[in-house]
Amino acid sequence: MELKDIKAVIDLMKKNDLSVFEMEKDGFKLKLQKGAGDQTVFAPPANGLLGSAPPAPSMAPAPVSAPAPAVPETESSASLREIVSPMVGTFYRAASPESPPFVDVGKEVTEETVVCIIEAMKVMNEIKAEAKGVIAEIVAESGKPVQFGQVLFRVR
């Protein structure tokens, strides 16, 4: 795989709102992950597939690391952040029964993304993620009451 191929993959990921890309071929492993990651780890090319350039660190790793640092294979739950309820009410995943849910697992969110509605006293309150990342788990159940501090989503 050449650097321009990796750049092409990154572009495709951006265009299609994908968060993870993994490939393994002939001993070469590559994983690209969008969003705030914890570590920057590279699987160095075993046989110099990234080109014949001498091991000059400036070339290959830099453009790859900036937008999408790879993360270790195993993921601890410590890296998951929680979106908790700021109020008491009923949790809904969508604006109405006919609408699609605001978010699904894998959806990328920023601080301003509306992730759900909590209905309190006939008022529909839009709840923002207030976190940047990717929805990893949907913890609360749509249509069920939630209390202050209750976990609604987990975000990677």
Partner 1 sequence: MFEKILIANRGEIALRIIRACKELGIRTLAVYSEADVDSLHVQLADEAICIGAPPSAESYLKIDRIMSAAEVGDVDAIHPGYGFLAENAHFAEVCESCKIKFIGPPASAMHAMGDKNSARACARKAGVSVTPGSDGIVETEQDAVKLARKIGYPLMIKAVAGGGGRGMRAAHNEASLGPAYHAARTEAEKAFGNGDVYIEKLIVNPHHIEFQIVADQHGHTVHLGERDCSIQRRNQKVIEECPSPLISPGLRKKMGHAAIKLAESVGYQNAGTMEFLVDNEGHYYFLEMNTRIQVEHTITEEVYGCDLVKEQILIAAGARLSPHVANATARLHAIQCRINAEDPEKNFQPSPGRIAFYYAPGGRGVRIDSHAYTGYVVPPYYDSMIAKLITVGATRVSAIARMRRALDEYYITGIKTTVPFHSAIMRNADFQNGTYDTGFVDRVMKSDNFEIRPTPTRLHE
Residue 79 identity: S
Toward partner 1, which CB reaches closer, 114 or 120? 120
Asked if 31 and 20 count as a contact pair (C-beta separation under 8 A), the reply is yes
Going by C-alpha positions, the residue among 45, 21, 44, 48 that lies closest to residue 32 is 21
Shortest distance, CB of residue 118 to partner 1, whole angstroms?
9
Shortest spacing between CB 100 and partner 1, in angstroms: 25
Per CB under 8 A, 19 contacts partner 1: no
Residue 50 to residue 149: CA distance in whole angstroms: 48
Q: Judged by CB under 8 A, does residue 88 bind partner 1?
A: yes
Which of 66, 87, 97, 141 is close enough to bind partner 1 by CB under 8 A?
87
Footprint on residues 113-142 left by partner 1 (CB under 8 A): 120-121
Q: Is 143 in the site for partner 1 (CB under 8 A)?
A: no
Cα–Cα distance measured from residue 132 to residue 81, given in angstroms and rounded to the nearest whole number: 10
Among 65, 51, 53, 67, CA closest to 3: 51
Q: How far is the CB of 94 from partner 1 (least distance, A)?
A: 19
Return residues touching partner 1 (CB under 8 A). Answer: 87-90, 120-121, 145, 147-150
